[in-house]
Amino acid sequence: MKENDKDRIIVAASIEQLAMKGAELFRRIAVDSVARRDRFSVALSGGSSPRPFHRLLAEEPYRSGIPWSHTHIFWVDERLVPPEDPASNFGTARKDFLAHLPIPLSQVHPMSSEKVPHQAADDYQRTLSSHFGTSAAGAPVFDLVVLGIGTDGHTASIFPGDRAAIETDRWVVAVTGGSPNVDRLTLTLAVLERARRVIFIVSGRQKAATVRTILIDDTALPPRLIAPAEGMVTWLLDRDAADLLPDGLDGIDRANI
Ligand code: 6PG
């Protein structure tokens, strides 16, 4: 599967160690980004997989080890529900860690859930342009994008076969689908594939077959379409999610982390 020798597959012994590895990678990338560019721009996914590592970010050593004053938080996708709704990716992240950190509110950029989908998508495209520069400069280049995968092989809210999977002009599109099956916004591949670092964080045996399909088989599932020419992709898996990967898979690091 390895698109290039920069991609890595790290297998953690447990969900807890997966969260610790995720938080440590997040910290390292944040510190490096601020050292190089005086800011750290990251796009987060929703769902349950990233929540253990999100919660760690509000605790030491990450609370004081990450340059929050220079960090800008965006979302990879959002369900168009109010922030108070348990399905809200922003609302969940706010509860899990953002509300407990010294990050300026002006640096937290949720996708609007109060507007009709295409207007919310236009709004977020403007939010991205304001932060990264206009489309004349090319699609936004995030320092880090954190992604999950569904058992159907979706990532972000780019579902297999959906037009969003092949959108290359717009940076944000409105879609419907997933679980819950609601209106959503999602960043497109035009943005995701430009990131300097991409981390897929996947746990649970129910995803082992999908992980194998994506990493081993010849597939056009959305996660395989994210192969940044200048960036690096890291797959952070727990043992259950990595269960169907061959031991000798090139680039796999079964560190007992
Ligand atoms: C979303 C997520 C989505 C998620 C996967 C995995 O808003 O639904 O961004 O892409 O990452 O569906 O979700 P779980 O981590 O809950 O399995």
Rounded to the nearest angstrom, the distance between the alpha carbon of 206 and the centre of ligand 1 is 13
Report how far ligand 1's centroid is from the alpha carbon of 47 (Å): 4
Confidence of residue 2 (pLDDT cuts 50, 70, 90): very low
Write down the residue that tokens 């980004």 correspond to.
Answer: 33
pLDDT (0 to 100) of residue 156: 97
Task: Please tell me the distance from the alpha carbon of residue 79 to that of residue 97, in angstroms, as a whole number.
Answer: 19
Residue 37: what pLDDT? 98
Atom of ligand 1 nearest to the CA of 179: 8
Ligand 1 atom, smallest distance to 148 CA: 11
The predicted model gives 24-33 an average pLDDT of: 98
The closest residue, in CA terms, to atom 15 on ligand 1 is 49
Of ligand 1's listed atoms, the one at least distance from the Cα of 147 is: 11
pLDDT digits (tens, 9 = 90+) for 176-190: 988 889 999 999 999
According to the model, what pLDDT value does residue 221 have? 94
- Given this model, what pLDDT does residue 237 score? 97
Q: Is 178 in the pocket of ligand 1 (CB under 6 A)?
A: yes
Cα–ligand 1 centroid distance for 1 (angstroms): 22
Q: What is the pLDDT of residue 1?
A: 40
Instruction: Decide if 201 contacts 146 (C-beta within 8 A).
Output: yes
Give the separation between CA 236 and CA 18, rounded to whole angstroms. Answer: 7
pLDDT reading at 105 higher than 80? yes
Whole-model pTM over 0.85: yes
Query: Which whole-number Å values give the CA distances from 186 to 120, 252, 254, in the listed order?
Result: 11, 29, 32
Confidence of residue 87 (pLDDT cuts 50, 70, 90): very high
| Residue 205 phi, psi (nearest 5) | -65, -25
197/191 Cα distance (integer angstroms) = 12
Cis, peptide link before residue 102, omega less than 30° from 0: no
Residue 3 has pLDDT above 70, yes or no: no
Residue 59, token pair as written in the block = 């605790």
What pLDDT does residue 252 have?
80
Query: What value does the mean pLDDT take over residues 108-135?
Result: 94
User: The tokens of 179 are what?
Assistant: 């679980």
Residue 256 pLDDT > 90, yes or no? no
Ligand 1 atom with least separation from CA of 154: 10
Specify the range with the lowest mean pLDDT, choosing from 20-24, 151-155, 167-171: 167-171
CA 17 to chain centre: 18
The rounded mean pLDDT for the chain is 93
User: Is the pLDDT at 196 greater than 50, yes or no?
Assistant: yes
Tokens of 229: 């020419």
Q: What is the spatial distance between Cα 152 and Cα 167, in angstroms, rounded to a whole number?
A: 19
pLDDT value at position 191? 96
206-246 pLDDT, tens digit each: 999 999 999 999 888 999 999 888 889 999 999 999 999 99
Rounded to the nearest angstrom, the distance between the alpha carbon of 28 and the centre of ligand 1 is 24
Confirm or reject: Cβ of 186 under 6 Å from ligand 1.
no
**How confident is the model at residue 255, as a pLDDT?**
61
Q: What pLDDT, on a 0 to 100 scale, did the predictor assign at position 4?
A: 46
User: Residue 6: which pLDDT band, with cuts at 50, 70 and 90?
Assistant: low
| Lowest mean pLDDT segment, chosen from 6-10, 83-87, 122-126, 248-252 | 248-252
Decide if pLDDT at 141 tops 50.
yes
pLDDT-derived band at 93 (thresholds 50, 70, 90) equals very high
Rounded to whole angstroms, how far apart are CA atoms 257 and 250?
Answer: 19
Q: What value does the mean pLDDT take over residues 36-60?
A: 98
